[in-house]
């Protein structure tokens, strides 16, 4: 059942992470090319009639879009939604956490691949690690919890920090999520050779801490396989798109900043929601969405990897 929608609200970002942005830069969408907040709400309203109950706001970096809390407030008025969450790099979250919580945001995921300042600068192009760490604890303090930290590991880059990320789950209501890297464009293929599979990470953690206890991730109900250390407040999640294909369990659609609806991260866009909304053809849009959901139900294995930049459609 399709009950989860990821909405990219912008293709812009305030970082330049090596695994996300092309080396030569990219051309950003013009303001008139991206969905207006009212259009996002219209799209979510229609999709909620088709079963969508949870919405995640992504980017790019969603917090660089002005007035993001207004969008949260508008989405909160859709009564059938059970959860509104946000994935951010955390740089600007500290100053926004309280207002986002008050607007109706339930939780945040923070993308963070290192806990070391100099390495953070190398990986992202910006000296902002302390701001991100402050944001984690600010989010916890205002009730945006559990905070989930999305971490991608690479050989020779940050694999020496596995245990440090795990330790965050011991004393805090934090989930560390190890996500296997998959390149989305040919220019990122060099990083593919540095990818670390999650079974290797799990074995290392078990050797260090003796054992991991299974944990039910009832909060996200997604593809993560969850564990926790004995007596830990948080948990450890493994998301393994490479070593453990989970296409048959996929319950999500993706809406890009320019209004294209994707049935799968590796599929071409199926519906141009922006054009349909701006042309006033709501009935036709509903029919197309029904067809897409049927097509999604039949799609239980990857059909091939397309070329795209992750910041364009939101992972």
Cβ contact 122:144 at 8 Å: no
Beginning with the edge strand found earlier in the chain, give each strand of the sheet holding 260-262 in spatial order.
Answer: 213-214, 225-228, 235-239, 174-179, 147-151, 107-111, 83-88, 54-58, 4-8, 252-255, 260-262, 271-272
For residues 112-135, average pLDDT:
98
Place of tokens 């070593």: 243
Average pLDDT score over the chain: 89
User: pLDDT value at position 56?
Assistant: 98
H helices present in the chain, as ranges: 37-49, 68-76, 93-103, 117-124, 129-142, 162-171, 189-192, 198-209, 273-278, 282-298, 310-313
Question: Going by C-beta distance under 8 Å and a sequence separation of 6 or more, which residues neighbour residue 183?
Answer: 19, 189, 191, 192
pLDDT in tens, 267-313: 777 789 999 999 887 888 899 899 888 877 765 555 555 555 655 66
56 Rama class: left (phi>0) / alpha (psi -120 to 50) / beta: beta
Percent of the chain with pLDDT over 90: 68
User: pLDDT value at position 244?
Assistant: 82
Banded model confidence at residue 151, pLDDT cuts 50, 70, 90: very high
User: pLDDT value at position 312?
Assistant: 60
pLDDT in tens, 190-203: 677 788 999 999 99
What are the structural domain ranges in the chain? 4-313
Strand partners, 238: 178, 225
What is the pairing mode between strands 174-179 and 83-88?
A: unpaired
Q: What is the model's pTM?
A: 0.92
According to CATH, the topology of domain 4-313 is: TIM Barrel (3.20.20)
Cβ contact 203:193 at 8 Å: no
């Amino acid at each position: 059942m399709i009950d989860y929608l990821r909405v990219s609200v912008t293709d812009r970002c305030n970082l330049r992470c090596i695994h996300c942005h092309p080396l030569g830069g990219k051309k950003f969408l013009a303001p008139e090319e991206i969905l207006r907040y009212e259009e996002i709400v219209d799209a979510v309203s229609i999709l909620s009639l088709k079963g969508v109950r949870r919405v995640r706001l992504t980017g790019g970096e969603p917090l660089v879009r002005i007035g993001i809390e207004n969008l949260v407030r508008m989405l909160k008025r859709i009564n059938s939604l059970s959860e509104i969450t946000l994935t951010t790099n955390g740089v600007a979250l500290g100053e926004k956490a309280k207002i986002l919580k008050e607007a109706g945001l339930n939780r945040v995921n923070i993308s963070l691949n290192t806990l070391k300042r100099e390495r953070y600068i190398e990986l992202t192009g910006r000296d902002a690690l302390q701001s991100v760490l402050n944001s984690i604890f600010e989010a916890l303090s205002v009730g945006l919890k559990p905070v989930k930290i999305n971490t991608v590991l690479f050989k020779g880059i940050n694999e020496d920090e596995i245990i440090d990320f795990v330790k965050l789950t011991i004393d805090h209501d934090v989930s560390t999520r190890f996500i296997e890297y998959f390149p989305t464009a040919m220019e990122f293929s060099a990083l593919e050779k540095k990818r670390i599979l999650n079974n290797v990470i799990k074995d290392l953690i078990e050797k260090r801490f003796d054992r991991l206890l299974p944990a039910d991730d009832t909060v996200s109900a997604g593809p993560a396989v969850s564990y926790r250390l004995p007596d830990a407040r948080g948990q450890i999640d493994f998301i393994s798109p490479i070593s453990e294909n989970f296409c048959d369990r996929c319950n999500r659609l993706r809406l890009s900043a320019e209004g294209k609806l994707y049935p799968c991260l590796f599929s071409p866009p199926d519906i141009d929601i922006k054009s349909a909304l701006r042309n006033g053809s709501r009935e036709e849009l509903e029919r197309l969405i029904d067809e897409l959901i049927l097509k999604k139900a039949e799609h239980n294995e990857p059909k091939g990897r397309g070329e795209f930049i992750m910041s364009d459609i939101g992972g």
